Structure 1
Amino acid sequence: MTNFKGVAAPSSKKRYNILAMVFVTVVINYLDRSNISVAAFAMKEDLGLSNIQMGYVFSAFAWTYACLQIPGGIVADKLPTRILYTIIMALWSIATLIQGFVNSFTALIGLRASIGVFEAPSYPTNNLVVTRWFPENERASAIAIYTSGQFLGLAFLTPTLVAIQNYMGWRGLFIVSGVIGLVWAGIWYLFYRDPGDHKKVSTSELEYIEKGGGLFTKKSTSEKSEKFKWQDFKQAFMYRKLWGLYIGQFCLGATTIFFLTWFPTYLVEFRGLDFLKSGFLAAIPFLAAFAGVLLSGFTSDFLIKKGYSVEIARKAPIIIGMLLSTCIIGANYTDSTFFIILFLAVAFFGNGLASIAWVFISLMAPKKMIGLTGGAFNFIGGLAGVVVPVAIGYLVDDGDFSPALFFIGGIALLGFISYTFIVGKVERIVPKY
């Protein structure tokens, strides 16, 4: 870990403004992924869809999202972040808005898949932004803050989304969500810049970031990006420690996907809760996950600054979090609403603890392949979104949700095993060519 105590404190802190922008972007990103879960109960009745069909609807986003993670990572490495994010955010917001006008299962599948296409480069881009703007000893905290956007945003937005649907219907819910994204795409274009191109960032802050391991350089207008090499693609899949991260991300994603898709349906249809009440109860696990990811990120950076090894500071929160996520199984053994929400909240708190996993891409990926490696990482993680919603649809088709929760808990246990035994030493990988 880089030690840069000799560098003077920066006279500006523009990196935090950038982090706030990434945070809001993540909130909107997950709003457009998860609004389908709020709309699902009414949509299923209105369009006459079965549980199995809803499983495919929930899964459709991940079909394209997962498959395009590696191309998305390559694109993130090669295209200017300001332009790329503006375009993809505008496109996925338009697709979200159009969902408010669908009348068929096929059209719904197509639109969900198109959102997956346009959101594919988003998380590799988020990771690139933080890797450029933050020194290594602040990076886990930065990743925790922007990752928490998916949890805090949904915690507060879920009751709001439920209220919007209650008054405007599920179609109005999609239209409002799409308009919000279009507005933010314009704001991103106006205000985002990379460190070397930001006119208001001080020289001392640039030095602070660079001396601390921030990976940025100011390119001249004539400088061209290196061309993609197929050898780079091979490198992203030839290391055991990277496969440990990939498997762990799949397992992390399984719990997240349950909460982003089937969770409201579970509360309303399988636990018999009132729809409006379920919106407020659904916020509790998201708040728990928000607390988990912030605790994880700030504790991890604190331990690094106190001299603890990277293995302890970075891996311990993730390993503990994966174990806690298995608590989701406890909801099968109670009919008390309080204890159902408690078990689910503890499980999602653990998921939050483990959600700083992106820091390993920042620390371990080859320097010129951070976007590509991040794409591979999110590709494997995104496969959870393909498999899990459909699997749950089949598991619950007979009206019993218990097997689905056992399924999610078992995958979380696999994640614990992967991070504990496969990842190994945390160190930057030097390509073998």
Structure 2
Amino acid sequence: TAIPYYENYFGSTARPLRGDAYFMGLSYMEARRFNEAVQMFQKAVGERDALTQNAQLQIGQAQLKLGQKQQAQMAFEAASRDNFDPQVRETAMFNYALLAHETNFSVFSESIALFENFLKEFPNSPYTDQVNDILAETFLTTKDYQAALAAINRISRPGRRILEAKQMVLFQLGAQEFINGDMNAAVQHFNNSIALGNYDAKARNNAYYWRGEAYYRMANYPNAASDFQAFTQNASPADENYAMGWYNLGYTRFKQNQYSSAVTAFQQYISAETNRNRTEYADAHNRIGDSYYYNRSFAEAERFYTTAATINPSAADYAAYQKAFVMGLQRNYQGKADALDDLMRRYPQSQYFDDALYEKSRALVMMSRESEAINVLQQLVSGYPNSALSSQAGIQLGQLYYNGGNYQNSISAYKNVISKFPGTDDA
């Protein structure tokens, strides 16, 4: 070791050279005698030159070893001010920014600007990947995504990790606007996230899903369908929104009267859904039933309505009503009447109760049981005077009385409609 030589030299020399102090400091560093190293490097600091710059860098490194981060930060900052040795400036600037970051982990901290300047000045530095990782982590952990995006946009040559963070930040901005109810702003952020490509494939796919949700709420069903299609094609079945992607795709097809495509999507949802207790699970069966109904595949419609009622008994009145309605279309009028009786018995508070009464009266008429139909219609008129079907029921009553030769009751029924529903088409 050269330490004894240097110690002897410094002990016998009144004015040792700065360079000698610097090299003795390096010897102390190698021997892990960091306090003594700091003292020697401080003797090497003098006029503003390359030696001083190097000595300040070494002081910073030694102070780090001693756990004196504040003193180390000051030394690195001093070494980073000059450019006598660009490599020293690069190392000092990186360490200065790193220590500043440790003391203030925020997108508003000085370290972000320091790292931005570092990337601008040293784009090919061996520290570039580490700087990108630090910045990306900062951007992703902040809740101020607008500030994070502004900071990212100031980076002239962002690396992959920064672009990954940008894609996620843009998605989060879109999600915030979605929650706030500003669908147009949400769509714009989702557009920007998707446009970045596949730096963060999960963020991009989630942007497709939530842009689809935004478009759906804007009643832009073609665009919503396109996004849910893209999401389901790229998402893993393990994705938390995978099943709902198919469910939503089914609704976008259903809203566009694309019933065969809706059936396919809803069936994909049924296969993918792991929670069979979700209301959407029974609802999907009802929508498949509706789709088959609109395509006049009545047997299939009836089958899915039956399944829906079994899956979710608490909301089975709709399925039961639709099933009865389909029976009527199949000319099974007794089956329709029985099914409607069952619905009214099981769900006396159902919102479809008045509809059930009206449809039962129609089934009875088709079976030439007019007197029974009259009793059902009277129950509808008296029990649900505010129903939209009450006026139609009154007209039907008048017609049935007339057909049966009971002209006085027929006139009374028609007058009742005119007095209770003036200005309507039925009146």
TM over 0.5: no
Q: What's the TM-score bracket when you normalise by the shorter of the two chains?
A: under 0.3
TM-score by length of structure 2 reads 0.17
TM-score by length of structure 1 reads 0.17
- Between 1 and 2, higher relative CO (CA 8 Å, sep ≥ 6) is seen in 1
